[in-house]
Amino acid sequence: MGFRKKNKSPPVLSHEFVIQNHADMVSCVAMIILLGLMFEVTAKFAIMFITVQYNVTQSLDERAEQVNLYQYGPKDIATVFFYLLIAVILHALIQEYILDKMNRRLHLSKTKHSKFNESGQLAAFYLLSFIWGCSILTAEEFATNPTFLWEGYPHTHMVFQVKFFYICQIAYWLHALPELYFQKVRKEDIPRQLYYICLYVFHITGAYILNLHRLGLVLLVPHYLVELLFHASRLFYFSDENKQKGFTLWALLFVIARLLTLTLSVLTFGFGLPRAENQGFSLAKGNFNVLTIRMTCLAAICLTQAWMMWKFINFQLKKWREHSQSQASKKKAFSPKSKPHKKDLARVGSANGVVKSDDKTSPRARKAKAS
């Protein structure tokens, strides 16, 4: 883990060396990019990594001042790379100074330790993203006019907050891929984490490239709220196994979020975009409003929601079986025990080497009678 002091230093460039010092290495790369701003020759390249690119100045008829809007382009890859480095550094800081200290107090098993770290990192990210997304939506017209999801499509221009939000989202989920190696995630947990990481990258990048950032933002905010509640509940559960009320609220909100996602997706791709003024396919104009792309996007969202519901149902059934088994074991433990028979007591006594005989013809009985 980065920033952690070790008594024994492993060989340079070995796997253990990279894992322990990956945050320091990434910090050096980020510092080199920042130092590039100090020199005129490298400044134009360093700015491409640090600042948001493709700004367009527009003047609105209703207002006298000009508004700075942004588009997307190939240079965004450099920006995503830089903030991927920042995400790796922040990940190491949270792990080192918050989660590791909490793990030492809780004394968790290896399985719970891995899940605790995962939930701790994701809960912090979901909380920040949810607050950030809500602040962006409050400035939009969605609360009073849901038709802004498709009106004026293609939405090739974005305000700074929207574009920077998507840049950070893509960077975070891409940084989660090397973190599987840096965090020494167990082999049995890697497929599960790879599934949801790839789904996040696929959907968020798709919404960004297809100029569907309005719909993507509206769908991400409630989804992040549900995921935040789940991982927060799991953190409380690891600290005290009696704290399970949060999972009940999460289960209810999870189903509502899935229905909301399907409703808004069908409304946008099935009714809104087909009736929009700009129809057709044009890479230059950023217009992807054709039937094939609309149905592909809708199918991808529906399949993802169906897969999530399938995982959710299996999770609930597993919890229900575990609860039933625990209740059955408790009933057996508190059930009244039947009294043993005299023959059983005699067998137990003989097994312990104690033999009681009431036979009057035994040698000891005859001797007592003679005396």
Q: Are 204 and 170 in contact (CB under 8 A)?
A: yes
> What count of other Cβ atoms lies within 10 Å of the Cβ of residue 171?
19
pLDDT of residue 302 exceeding 60, the answer is: yes
* DSSP per-residue codes, 68-97: EEE---TTHHHHHHHHHHHHHHHHHHHIII
Q: What is the pLDDT of residues 179-219, one digit of tens each?
A: 999 998 889 999 999 999 999 999 999 999 999 999 999 99
Please give the mean pLDDT across all residues of the chain.
86
Q: Where are the alpha helices (DSSP H) in the chain?
A: 15-35, 40-50, 76-94, 100-106, 110-138, 160-182, 190-209, 213-239, 245-266, 291-333, 342-351, 363-370
Q: Give the span between the Cα atoms of 98 and 193, in whole angstroms.
A: 22
Domain ranges of the chain: 51-104+113-328
Q: What is the pLDDT of residues 267-291, one digit of tens each?
A: 999 999 999 888 999 999 999 999 9
Average pLDDT over residues 323-336: 72
Q: How confident is the model at residue 334 (pLDDT cuts 50, 70, 90)?
A: low
Q: How confident is the model at residue 348 (pLDDT cuts 50, 70, 90)?
A: very low
pLDDT of residue 51 exceeding 70, the answer is: yes
**What pLDDT does 10 receive?**
81
Q: What is the pLDDT of residues 88-142, one digit of tens each?
A: 999 999 999 999 999 888 888 888 888 999 999 999 999 999 999 999 998 876 6
> What count of other Cβ atoms lies within 10 Å of the Cβ of residue 173?
22
What does the radius of gyration of the chain's CA atoms come to, in whole angstroms?
32
Average pLDDT over residues 320-342: 68
**What pLDDT does 362 receive?**
55
**What pLDDT does 239 receive?**
84
- Who's near 117: CB < 8 A, 6+ residues apart? 95, 99, 103, 183
Q: What is the pTM of this model?
A: 0.84
pLDDT of residue 339 exceeding 80, the answer is: no
Q: Give the span between the Cα atoms of 250 and 5, in whole angstroms.
A: 39
